[in-house]
Structure 1
Amino acid sequence: MSDAIDHSIAQPGENRFWLTTSDGVGIDAVLLRGSLPRTTVVVLANGFTGTYRSPHTRAIAQGLLPVGDVMTFDFRGHHGSGGRSTVGNAEIHDLEAVVERLRELGYTHIATLGFSMGAAVAIRHAAIFGGISAVVSVSGPSRWYYRGSRSMRLLTFGVGRSFGRAFLRRFRKVRVTDQRWNPTPAEPREVAGEVSPAPLLVVHGDSDSYFPVSHATAIHDAARQPKDLWIVRGMGHAERAVDPELVVRLRDWLGERLPGPEQAE
C-alpha cells in the first residue's frame, strides 16, 4: 500500500507519524501532546479491530493527558497501517516501533496500556524488549486459543476462514493473515513474570463476554511484584467498556508510578 499519509486526520495538538517496524511493516500513529514539553508518555494499544480513530480510544487518550503525552496507533493490518494482522503475535514489533520513535523524540518514561489483544501484546513486549516504565493490561487473555465463550468461538471461526477474513476486510477495515502461528509465541501468563521490575496493573470486568475473570487472575498470579489487580464490577470488554470513572482510576495509578508533567529544559 502507499506510504502517503493524510495529515488532515490529525487534530490540533496531535502529530501524525508513519513508522516502520523491524520486519518492514508501516504503522500509522498519532501523538497527542500537552501544552508543555514532557518526557513522560503513555502508549495505547487497541484490541483486535480497534483503531486510534475510535471515539472510545480518543476519550481514553484525552483522559490520560494529565499524566503525560499519549501515543495512539493502529496495529498492522488495521485501517491505515500496512501488512496483515497476526492477531497478537508479530504485533510486538508494531509496539516496539512506536516505543523506539518515542525514545528518539526524547521521552524517557514510557508506559504501555493495552486492551484485549493489545493487552497481550503489551505484556509480551515488556517481557521481551524491556525498558518500559509501567504496563497496564485491560481485558487481556492469559492464554491462546481460548474458546470458552461464544464471543471467542465466533471470533476464532471468523479469522480462521476466508469469508470471515473477507468480512473483516470489507466492513471493519482489518486485513488478517491466513498463516497459522509457527512457532506459537509464549502466552501472556507464561511471560507476565518478566514484566518486573516495571509495575503491572491487570484490569478486567466481571461482565466480560470474551474472557472470564480467571484470565486476569492467571496473569496477576504469574506476575512478580510490583503488581495490582482490579476486577471491575459490571464492566464488559476492552476499550468500549472503559467509562470515565475507570479512566480517572487509570490516570491516578499511572500518575503515582510515572514522573509528573514537567517542562523540558
Structure 2
Amino acid sequence: MFKFANVRHPRPSLKRLLWGSLGTGAGVVVGAAAGIIGVGLYIVDTLTRPKHLAAFALYTFSPFELGLPAEDVSFPSLHNDHVVNGWYIPHAEATSTIIVSPGYRSTKTDVLGLCALLWKAGHNILVFEYYGHGTVVGMPVTLGYREINDFLGAVAYARKRSPEARLGVVGYSMGAAVSIMGTARSPEIQALVADSAFATHRSVVEYAVSRTLHLPFVIFDWATDLILWWRAGYHFNQVEPLRDIGRITPRPIMLIHGMKDSIVDPHDAALLYKAAGEPKELWLAPDVEHCGVYFSDRAEYVRLLTEFFDLYLKKSPPVQVEITSNELTDSIHNGSYPLIS
C-alpha cells in the first residue's frame, strides 16, 4: 500500500486568490466575446459571400422550351453601377406588365413557370435576377440593401418598354421584401403580391440563428450588426419592409406565406399584414415550407393571382399615388430607402 508523505502546504494569500479569480474571469469574458464576434463574422460571411456556379449550372430550362416569345434584356440598376439581366416577354394584347422578382441567390429560371402562366393570362412579363444572386455571380451580395436598386431599375425598364401598361409585381422571399420596399417608393406600381417576405432584416437573421444555434439572437445582435456595417456598409434597420409597407396603400397587396417556413418566420406575414393598409389579402398555407405555396396547390395559386391582377390591373381604375420630395428625404434620413442618394 502506498503512503503519502506528510507535506505541509502553504495557505494562499487573499491577494493571490483575488488576482487568480480576476484572471480566470477575464479569460471567460474574452473567450465569450471572441465567440460572439466569431458567430457574427460567420453570419455576415454566409450572408454576403460570393457564390460561384458549377460549369453545368446554366444547363436548365429557358423560355424556348415553353414556347415563350422572350427577349434577353439588360438594364442599369438605379445608380447605373452595374447591369441587371432578365427576360422580357411581350404579349400583343397586354395592357399591363408584371415584374417578377426572384429570391436570394435565385435565378430567373426558378420562377419561369409562373411567368409563363401569367403571360398566358394576358400580361407582359419582366423577370430579372438580382446582381450577384443569379447567373451573374462572384461578387458579394446583401439581403435587400443594394438589391432594391436593381428592382427600381426593373421598374424603370418596364415603364420604358410599355409606357401605357399598368404595373404589377410578384416577389419571392428576399425579392418579396425588396418588392415591398420598392413599391412603397414607386407610385407607378399598382398591385403587389409578396410571397414569403420577411418583415425586417434582423428578424430573418434572428430566426435562422434561433433554429440553427438554439440560442437567443440578442447575444449576437450588436456584434453582428456592427460587422455587417463594417463588411457590407449597412445596418439591419436599413432593410425593413415592415416600416415601408404602410406607404403602399391605397394600392392592393396580397401576402402569401407557408406556415411551416424554416427560412422566414411565418409570424412575419402577420406583422406585415397588420402594418399594411387596405386593400390587402393574406393567404397562410398550413404545412407548407418556404416559397412552397405554389407547389402545394398550383391551380389555386394561379387562379388567385390571375384574379388579383385582373381586378386591379385590368378592371379597376388606376390608383393615383404621389410621393413628395419631403417624404423621400425623410425616408433617406431614417434609412428606409437605401442607396437612393
Kept in 2: contact 1:27–1:80 (CA 8 A) = no
1:62 corresponding residue in structure 2: 116
1:11-30 counterparts in 2 under 5 A? 11=64, 12-23=68-79, 24-30=81-87
Distance 2:84 2:210 in 1: 28
Q: Confirm whether residue 118 of structure 1 aligns to residue 175 of structure 2.
A: yes
1:185 corresponding residue in structure 2: 238
TM-score, structure 1 length as denominator?
A: 0.78
| Percent of residue pairs identical | 22
**Structure 1 outlier segments of 4+, above 6 Å:** none
Shift of 1:29: 0.8
1:80 corresponding residue in structure 2: 135
1:1-265 counterparts in 2 under 5 A? 11=64, 12-23=68-79, 24-34=81-91, 36-54=92-110, 57-65=111-119, 66-81=121-136, 84-107=140-163, 108-146=165-203, 147-149=206-208, 178-182=231-235, 184-238=237-291, 240-243=292-295, 244-245=298-299, 246-259=301-314
2:323 corresponding residue in structure 1: none
Shift of 1:178: 4.3
Shift of 1:26: 0.9
SS of 1:133's equivalent?
A: strand
Letter in 2 for 1:28: N
Distance 1:153 1:223 in 2: 30
Distance 1:67 1:106 in 2: 14
Kept in 2: contact 1:196–1:226 (CA 8 A) = yes
Structure 1 residues 249, 13: closer, same or farther in 2, change over 3 A?
same
Answer 1 or 2: higher relative contact order, Cα 8 Å, separation at least 6. Answer: 1
Letter in 2 for 1:233: P
SS of 1:49's equivalent?
A: coil
SS of 1:53's equivalent?
A: helix
Kept in 2: contact 1:10–1:16 (CA 8 A) = no
Residues 116-157 of structure 1, C-alpha deviations (whole Å, 9 max, x = no match): 101110000011232211011100101222222469758x99
Structure 1 residues 182, 231: closer, same or farther in 2, change over 3 A?
closer
Structure 1 residues 149, 80: closer, same or farther in 2, change over 3 A?
closer
Letter in 1 for 2:198: P
Question: Greater helix share, 1 or 2?
Answer: 2
Measured on the aligned residues, the alpha-carbon RMSD in Å equals: 2.8
Kept in 1: contact 2:191–2:251 (CA 8 A) = yes
Distance 1:62 1:15 in 2: 13
Distance 2:212 2:141 in 1: 18
Distance 2:308 2:262 in 1: 25
Residue ranges of structure 1 left out of the alignment (5+ in a row): 1-8, 162-176, 261-265
Distance 1:136 1:191 in 2: 15
TM-score, structure 2 length as denominator?
A: 0.61
Residue ranges of structure 2 left out of the alignment (5+ in a row): 1-61, 225-229, 316-341
SS of 2:207's equivalent?
A: coil
* 83-92 or 228-237, larger mean C-alpha shift: 83-92
Shift of 1:225: 0.8
Shift of 1:180: 4.1
Kept in 2: contact 1:119–1:137 (CA 8 A) = yes
1:166 corresponding residue in structure 2: none
CA radius of gyration, larger in = 2
Kept in 2: contact 1:112–1:136 (CA 8 A) = yes
Distance 2:169 2:307 in 1: 15
- Count matched residues: 231
Residues 153-205 of structure 1, C-alpha deviations (whole Å, 9 max, x = no match): 58x99xxx9xxxxxxxxxxxxxxx94141584151111110011211111111
Distance 1:64 1:151 in 2: 37
Structure 1 residues 218, 71: closer, same or farther in 2, change over 3 A?
same
